[in-house]
Amino acid sequence: MSANLVPLESLLDLPNHARLLGLDLGTKTIGLALSDVERQIATPLETIQRVKFGLDAAALLKIAEKHAVAGLVIGLPLNMDGTEGPRAQSTRAFIRNLSPLTSLPIVFWDERLSTLAVTRTLLDADASRAKRAAVVDKMAAAYILQGALDRLARLAPEEE
C-alpha cells in the first residue's frame, strides 16, 4: 500500500479551506469533481479523455494544482457483493502508479451504483443521449465526492 493512500478520516486533518478532487475513473475518460473550500458541496468539474497513463496523470495533477486541491477521492468500482473485479483492480493499478507522482493523500470511496444514479437523474431531467454522455462522468465524480464529503461531515467533531 502506498504512503499516500489513507483512510477517509485522515482528510479531517487537512488545512481549512482546502479543496478535494473527486475522480470517476473510466476506461475512456476520467470524470472530475471539485469540492468547495468548506468541503460540503461537490460540483462536477470536467472530463479528461484518457490517452495513456503518463498524460492522464499529468493532466489530473495539473488540474489538482490549479485548484489548490489538498486530497483526492477516487471511486472504487466494487461488485454488488462487495468483491473487487477487473475494474476495481484497474483503478487500484492507476492509483499505484499515480501515488509516487504526488504527495496528495488519496482515499478510495465505494462507487457502486454512482453512474446508474446519475444516469437516472439525467433521464428524469429528460437529457438527450448526447448530453448524458457529455456529463455523466463528471457528475458521477461529483456523486462519489459528495458521498465522501457527507461522511466526513458526520465524522467531524462538533464545533463549540
Task: Please state the separation of Cα 111 from the chain's center in Å.
Answer: 9
150: cell is 457527507
Q: How far apart are the first and last CA of the chain?
A: 37
- Domains of the chain (ranges; CATH) run 18-155 (3.30.420.140)
The model's pLDDT over 64-98, given as tens digits with 9 standing for 90+, comes to: 999 999 999 999 988 778 888 898 999 999 999 99
- pLDDT tens digit sequence for 36-63: 999 999 999 999 999 999 999 999 999 9
Identify the helix (H) or strand (E) that includes residue 54.
Answer: helix 53-66
Q: Sheet containing 69-76: give its strands across.
A: 42-49, 29-35, 19-25, 69-76, 106-110
Query: Among residues 130, 134, 147, which one has the least CA distance to residue 22?
Result: 147
Confidence (pTM): 0.86
